[in-house]
Amino acid sequence: MTDIHIRQDGHAGRITLQRPKALNALTYQMCLEIEAALWAWRAESTVKVIVIDAEGDKAFCAGGDIAEMYATGTAGDYAYGQKFWRDEYRMNALIAEYPKPVVSFLQGFTMGGGVGVGCHGSHRIVGDSSQIAMPECGIGLIPDVGGSYLLARAPGRLGEYLGLTADRMGPGDAIYVGFADLYIPEDQWTALKSTLCATGDVKALEDAAQVPPDAPLRTSQPQIDMAFGGARLSDIVNTLSRDSSDFAEAALKKLSRNAPLSMECALEIIHRLRAGTLDIRKALELEYRFTSRSMEKGDFIEGIRAVIIDKDKSPKWRHDLAKVPSVDVAAMLRPVMGEKLTFEQEERGMKIGFIGLGNMGAPMAANLAAAGHTVVGFDTMDVSVEGVTRAATAAEAAAVADVVITMLPNGDILRSVASEVIPAMKSGAALLDCSTVDVESARAVAAEAEAAGLLPLDAPVSGGIGGASAGTLTFMVGGSEKAYATALPLFDIMGQKSVHCGASGNGQAAKICNNMILGVTMIATCEAFALADKLGLDRQAMFDVVSTSSGYSWSMNAYCPAPGVGPQSPADNNYTPGFAAELMLKDLRLSQQAAEASDADTPLGQSATELYARFVEAEDGRGRDFSAMLPRFEARKRNG
C-alpha cells in the first residue's frame, strides 16, 4: 500500500492519506503528490470537487513526518528541511486558493502539517472525534503550514492562546475559532463522500450539517482575551502569574513546556498579520522565515529530540520563558536571503525532464506542461513543443528534475541516454522510461539507476499517437511501489489507466506479450477476411458474425482491417498509420528476443515476426499501418 491514494472518482478528485499506523503523518513525497494532483484537476473539467480524507479512525493527519528532517538536520544539512517546507507551503497555498470546492473530512487528530492539508479548503468537516491543534511551539517550531493565518483570523486573542499553548480544539471549538466549517456526525461521512463523487455538488454537505456541540473556548474567551492581549510573551506570562485562577495556572503550565523563542516569534507573526495584509501567502512567507532558520538558529532539533526521539520531555531551550531578547526575534523573522519561498506558476508542480520528443513524446510532454508541471525537454532533432522549455543536452534536461521521462526508439538508445542522464540526476528522483524496449535493457537501466539512488520505472504504453495527444494512454509499469507512487499523478495526466505489473522489466514484459497477441490476432483477422473473400462471404456479414462470436478480438472489433467495415480505423484512411507495420515488427522481435532469452516456446509469435519482417523488408509494408496485412493476403494465392 502506498502512503497516499490519488484518483478521480466520478466528479471528485480524491486524495486519501493512508498511513494510519503513523497517524497519517505527511511525508515530503505526499506533499508533492497532492500538489501535482491539484494542478491536474484544476484543468480537468469533469472534476468538480476535491475530497480529502484519511484512513483509520485515530487521525486525519497528526503532523508532518519529521524523521528525515531530524536526520539531515542533526548532520548539519538544513537544505532538505528548507525544501520540504517550501514545497509544503506552496501546496498549502494552492489548497487555500483553489478555484473549486475542497472538502476535508477531519476525524481524530488534525495537527500541524495535517492542518495545512485539512483546514484551508472551502468545506472542512468535523465530527465528534475531531481534535485540532497547532502544537509546533512544543517542538521548537511555530504554527506553520498557514496555521498562523488561521490563528490571526480567530476571534479575540484565541489565536495567540491556541498557538502558544498548543491546546486542542474539539469540533465545537474548531468551528468557533475558524479551523472548521461544518459539524456532521461521522456515521454519515461515507455516504456523503459517495454523493460528492456522484454529483460533484457540495449542497449535500450543507443539508447534512447539524448544530455543532458546545465551544468551551467561547465561554473562556473573555479570560483569554485579557491574559493573551500583551505585545510580548513576557506581558502574557506576567499577567498569568498575577492571576490565581485555575485557568491562569493551567495556561502558565502549558507555556512553560514550550520553546520560548518559538512562542515569542509566533506571537510576533500573528500580530504582524493582523496589523498588515492578512492573507495566506503573507502568513506562509513569515512562517518560512522562521522555519528555514529553525534548525540552525532555533530550538527545532532539540525539540524533536526531547519530544519524539528520546521522549525525555526535558528539552533544553535556548531561552528562559519570557526572556527572549527582541534582537533574537528579529533575527529569526528577517527576510530570507537564499532560496526563497515562492508561489510562482513555474515553481508549482513537478520539475520534469522529457527526453525524446517524437510522435509520442511531444504530445505527452505537452499534456504534462498544460497540467501545470515545469517541463524541460531534449531531442536530437530540432523540435519545439508547446509549454516545454528546450535544453541543450539530455543531462541539462535531467539535472534539476524530480522525474525524468524518456520516450526513445529502442533499447540501445535508451541505454546510452540513461548513462548520460543518471549521473546528472538528483538523488531520489524518478527515471521513467515509457519507450518500448527489450526487457534486458529495461532491467539493466533500472539497476544502474537504483545504484545511483534513483527510482526507476519501465512504463511502456499502448494507445498510440491518438492516445498520447488525448491523454488516454495505458501504462504497463515495472518498478518499486515507491517509484510507482511518485509517477502516478503523471500517469493520470498522460493516460487513463496504469497497471503496476511488478518489479523492473515487468512493464516491458507485459507490453511485448500484449503486442505479440496483437500481431498474431491481426494476421489471423486479415487472413480470415481474405479467405472469406475467396469463399464469397460478404465482409460486413463476416464482421457482424465474428465481432459478436467467439472469433472476436480487438483487431476485429475495434481496429477492423477491412475498409468501410466496423468502426473508423486506419483501413478507412488507406492504411496510413496508426500503428506502423515496422513498429509492430519491432515489438514482435522484442517478444522473440525475450522468448529466446527465457527459453519460451512461442510458435505463433515466431510466425508473426517472420511475416511482418517479410511485409516490412521485402514487400510494401514499410510506412503502412500494421493492418495493411489484409490487402497483402488479398493479393496472394495459397502458395505465394
Shortest approach of ligand NAD to residue 501 CB, angstroms? 16
By beta-carbon proximity to ligand NAD, the closer residue of 301 and 461 is 461
Give the per-residue contact string, 580-599, with ligand NAD (x = CB under 6 A; - = no): ---x--x-------------
By beta-carbon proximity to ligand NAD, the closer residue of 10 and 409 is 409
Using CB under 6 A, count the residues that bind ligand NAD.
Answer: 25
**Which residues ranging from 433 to 462 are in contact with ligand NAD (CB under 6 A)?**
435-436, 461
Residue 174 in the binding site for ligand NAD (CB under 6 A): no
Integer Cα distance of 114 and 68 in angstroms = 18
Residue 408 in the binding site for ligand NAD (CB under 6 A): yes
Residue 498's SS3 state is: strand
Residue 134 in the binding site for ligand NAD (CB under 6 A): no
**CB proximity list for 325: less than 8 A, separation 6 or greater:** 319
Query: What is the signed CA dihedral for 69, 74, 76, 77, rounded to 10 degrees?
Result: -20
Q: Give whole-number Cα distances, 268 to 302, 312, 326, in Å.
A: 22, 29, 10
Stretch that binds ligand NAD, among 20-28, 194-202, 231-239, 409-417 (CB under 6 A): 409-417
Q: Give whole-number Cα distances, 311 to 74, 210, 305, 323, 607, in Å.
A: 17, 40, 7, 26, 68
Q: Give whole-number Cα distances, 504 to 317, 340, 475, 501, in Å.
A: 48, 38, 14, 9
Q: What is the DSSP letter of 305?
A: I
By beta-carbon proximity to ligand NAD, the closer residue of 121 and 361 is 361
Query: Of 592, 586, 577, which is closest to residue 629 (Cα–Cα)?
Result: 577
Residue 132 in the binding site for ligand NAD (CB under 6 A): no
By beta-carbon proximity to ligand NAD, the closer residue of 31 and 424 is 424
Applying CB under 6 A, among 358, 428, 502, 563 the residue interacting with ligand NAD is 358
Applying CB under 6 A, among 101, 361, 471, 561 the residue interacting with ligand NAD is 361
Of these residues, 297, 511, 534, 637, which one is catalytic?
A: 511
253 is annotated as an active-site residue: no
Q: How many helices (H) and strands (E) does the chain have?
A: 28, 18
Residue 417 in the binding site for ligand NAD (CB under 6 A): yes
Integer Cα distance of 360 and 432 in angstroms = 15
Applying CB under 6 A, among 199, 223, 234, 359 the residue interacting with ligand NAD is 359
The residue type at 228: F
By beta-carbon proximity to ligand NAD, the closer residue of 169 and 357 is 357
438 close to 500: Cβ distance less than 8 angstroms: no
Give the per-residue contact string, 378-407, with ligand NAD (x = CB under 6 A; - = no): xxxx------------x------------x
By beta-carbon proximity to ligand NAD, the closer residue of 146 and 356 is 356
The runs of H, that is alpha helices, within 188-245 are 189-199, 203-208, 216-227, 233-242
Shortest approach of ligand NAD to residue 612 CB, angstroms? 14
| Beta-carbon count within 10 A of 408 CB | 24
**CB proximity list for 148: less than 8 A, separation 6 or greater:** 142, 163, 266, 269, 270, 273, 283, 286, 287
Residue ranges in contact with ligand NAD by CB under 6 A? 355-361, 378-381, 394, 407-409, 413, 417, 435-436, 461, 464-465, 579, 583, 586
Write out the catalytic residue numbers. 511
